[in-house]
Amino acid sequence: MLGHPRETQLHPARDSVTLDFYSASVPIYLGSGTRGVRRHLPSFLDLLPPRARILELGCGGGWDAEAMIAAGFDVDPTDGTPEIARKAEERLGRCVRVMRFDELDAREVYDAIWASASLLHVPRSSLPKILALVFEALKPGGLHFASYKGGGAEARDRYGRYFNYLSREDVTEAYRRSGPWEVVSVTEYLGAGYDGQQGPWVAVVVRRPD
């Protein structure tokens, strides 16, 4: 860890140091770790109707988007880093929108919103506001998945990236504060990230009520 995030200036919904890391590290970042489909994606897609419209927040190299498209879903992949979005475009052969989480401006558009290992960079104080935007973007009955690094105390990793490091209780409280979600599942598990270190994670599936 490289210190507590209060030691640096944070935007209400994004951290420039974290964004700069991804902008400067595209070849290394996209070439590291497991580049296959995320472990939770198949079970999440099983919950959706055929040809559902899915927004992906933080698509990275586009591996999950590629799998969703191949499965017949209507996918809107986005990433907050222009350099990463361009790489995802090369993989997918289609436009990938450059969009930060706080720029989400849609109302009842999507059947599902997939945010694997992306909302974990949102400062804790702003997370309920971002989740409220996710809630508004979903159609009634729509589903949202997100995964977060666990730990219970926000901090920076050795690369300077900010993580909110949420506990199971932190996750459920953030969603409670952001809207009248129906909780489908909250799962704790061990997983690795960019640095290859194993650690606790929390995955959540929630539904916007009909």
Q: What is the CATH number of the domain that holds 195?
A: 3.40.50.150
The per-residue pLDDT for 1 is 25
Q: What is the mean pLDDT of residues 119-138?
A: 97
| Model pLDDT for residues 26-66, shown as the tens digit of each residue | 655 565 444 556 889 999 999 999 999 999 999 998 999 99
Helix (H) or strand (E) holding 201: strand 198-207
Q: Which amino acid is at 137?
A: A
pLDDT of residue 38: 80
Question: Regarding predicted confidence, which is higher, 193 or 83?
Answer: 83
| pLDDT reported for residue 2 | 27
What is the distance in angstroms between the CA of the first residue and the CA of the last residue of the chain? Answer: 42
Which is more confidently placed, 161 or 106? Answer: 106
User: Within the chain, how many helices (H) and strands (E) appear?
Assistant: 7, 9
* Angstrom distance (rounded) from CA 133 to CA 158: 30
Structure tokens at 152: 């219970």
Strand partners, 201: 149, 189
**Residue 118 to residue 22: CA distance in whole angstroms:** 12
Q: pTM value?
A: 0.87
Considering its fold, how many domains does the chain have in total?
1
pLDDT of residue 14: 57
Segments of 14-82 assigned E as strands: 53-57, 74-79
Q: How confident is the model at residue 139, as a pLDDT?
A: 98
What does DSSP say about strands 155-156 and 162-163: parallel, antiparallel, or unpaired?
A: antiparallel
**Main-chain phi, psi angles of 106, to 5 degrees:** -140, 150
Higher model confidence: residue 67 or residue 14? 67
* In 39-189, alpha helices (H): 41-45, 63-70, 82-92, 127-137, 168-178
Residue-number span of the structural domain to which 200 is assigned: 5-207
Each residue's pLDDT tens digit, 93-128: 999 999 999 999 999 999 999 999 999 999 999 999
> What is the C-alpha separation between 39 and 164, in angstroms, rounded?
21
